[in-house]
Amino acid sequence: MIIMITRARVSGCFGSSVVAGAVLVLSAVAGAALAGAFAGFLGAAVEPSLRALLALIAVSAVLVGAALRPVPWQLDRETDTRWLGYQDWRTAAYNGFALGLGFTTRIGFWLWYVVPLSAFVVADPVLGAAGYSVFALTRVGLSALLTSADVYVGGGIARARMVADPLAFAALAALYPVLMPMV
């Protein structure tokens, strides 16, 4: 993230790290809003009973996966390093968009799956987009803030899982009482 903002600042972002950061965050929110709206739209496009059944299957699969292994199903990679070569606004924009989508890079935590799943269950493109945007704002906005303050959070993923994993189990399980009556 630090490299991405620095490189984005070099040219094409008016020489400003603030502009580069803004492009990064706005792109992340755009990507997240699209993904959330799509999940909400998919949920709204199917009958409530089918939606509940599909969601129950997905929630159960993620719960089993989360109960068996700490590392979630994910694409184990970072954003494309070729984007660094652009040295203009595209570096920040592409990086932000990918991070906002979430699933194109490492997600790290099973809790992430609650975001698209609950956006699908909500079955409202606007609410889905809003919720997913909260993820992008927190994920990328906080990263940009920490970077601007020269704070680097290194490691600690095992400790973060101590909080995120129980919350993932609870959140996924909390969807059952919502979905079961709908099937």
- Interface ranges with other proteins (CB under 8 A): 63, 66-70, 106-109, 111-112, 114-115, 118-119, 121-122, 127-128, 131-132, 134-139, 142-143, 146, 153, 155-178
Angle between helices 114-122 and 48-68 (to 10 degrees): 170
61 touches 130 (CB < 8 A) = no
- The least distance separating other proteins from the CB of residue 20, rounded to whole angstroms, comes to 19
Token digits of residue 171: 């959140």
Amino acid at 95: N
Nearer to other proteins, 82 or 177 (CB): 177
- The least distance separating other proteins from the CB of residue 5, rounded to whole angstroms, comes to 14
Q: What are the start-end ranges of the H helices in 69-149?
A: 89-101, 114-122, 125-136, 142-148
Nearer to other proteins, 12 or 131 (CB): 131
- The least distance separating other proteins from the CB of residue 90, rounded to whole angstroms, comes to 23
Nearer to other proteins, 10 or 103 (CB): 103
Q: How many Cβ atoms are within 10 Å of 4's Cβ, its own excluded? A: 25
Nearer to other proteins, 15 or 166 (CB): 166
